[in-house]
Chain A
């Protein structure tokens, strides 16, 4: 497992970008096939969890709009059509 280290970071805490990037590298590492079976299964499990997390994020994505007000950011309620 030279290339892909399991970050062991809680998956729920990952942003979509982090999770999908890790998933991509896991798939890459598995396809390179340099892992022991035990490592490969661990990668697979984490990959599945990452994919589920990403899917959930995509499903529930809501555009967040903020407005610059002076030096601070405040929520901006945009009218939805």
Chain B
């Protein structure tokens, strides 16, 4: 390109810088780029923005993370840290500098881990290991709760405290296993296997929070398969709320933390059981009192019927009949007695009339032999001494015949 000698078009610095800025910022590659390097010249001023330089052996790149993205950063930045940064190239015109405006940043290697995570997740998902139909219900009132975690971690203490607080009635069976490092996956698999032989009602597979590398054992295919193959339903509680591992997908229930896992395993608490017992006792008492009241009422009704149909009434009737009869009998008897007594009077009068004494009163005398007391009714009998009986006494007489 030939410079125009006659009418040279001078650009101002601003115009040229603007032109460069437009060229760089419009480039599709530079607008969405991943770059890896080592952090140096890290600066965190009070503005909240973060400034640093990414370097490798031969080059350096100025970088900035604006405040809003900086607050979302999960990595603890320090000089010398190898990272993978994502962002866009921008030009800072006052200093004529280009820089990478970073919106995502992770420790080096995490990207590869994440790719592996996605690949394994897709493969196991295709196999059906994460199917919702595979999920088993968590028992409402477990007797034995298995725990697979580190024997020394805070996660174990949190879970045991939660169980003790909510349902101390359960038995906790711990199968300890390291939860990070190369020895963790086979140890976790072994712990799950051994714990299943004890037939727990549910298993808590847990680990406290950590970096994504720390949690990586829970993305290990062997562990994920062991979770899916467990006889007892598994509640996973790995890391924090925001951490998702493949074990979470394979588990029957995913809890955001170890404590939450222990809570989900104890849906019925001691308080619930005590309330239930109060309810049972109330029903038992109420029902029995009702029953007794029913029985009493039934008895009372029966007693009333019994009284109505009792012989007492008949006895009363019979008594009345008897009274009537006895009255009749009595008056009949009295009548007869009166009759008899009148008769006796008549006879007595007639007898009176026949009494020889009354004849004597009229002047007759009864003569008897003094010798043998024979009544003298013929002259021939009148011999010797005789006795004459008159109305008021006797005297001796002498026969002259």
Contact = CB atoms under 8 A, between A and B. Distances in A.
Contact of A30 (B171, B276, B287): B287
For the side of the interface on B, what is the size category? 35 or more
Interface residues of A, number: 35
A48 B295 contact: no
A24 B276 CA distance: 10
Interface in B257-282: 270, 273-274, 276-277, 280-281
A81 to B, nearest CB: 5
Contact of A61 (B141, B172, B270): B270
Contacts, number: 95
B200 to A, nearest CB: 11
Highest count of chain B CB atoms <10 Å: which of A27, A37, A80 = A27
Contact of B172 (A20, A63, A81): A63
Given A20-B276, A58-B169, A64-B171, A30 B157 contact: no
Nearest to B171: A64
Contacts of B191: 68
B277 A58 contact: yes
A26 to B, nearest CB: 7
29 contacts: A17-B143, A20-B280, A24-B280, A27-B280, A27-B287, A40-B288, A47-B280, A48-B284, A51-B281, A51-B284, A54-B277, A55-B274, A57-B169, A58-B169, A58-B270, A58-B273, A58-B274, A58-B277, A63-B160, A64-B172, A65-B174, A66-B173, A67-B151, A67-B174, A67-B176, A68-B191, A68-B194, A73-B173, A78-B157
Given A17-B141, A27-B283, A78-B156, 9 more contacts: A20-B276, A31-B283, A51-B284, A63-B170, A65-B160, A65-B172, A73-B173, A78-B160, A81-B161
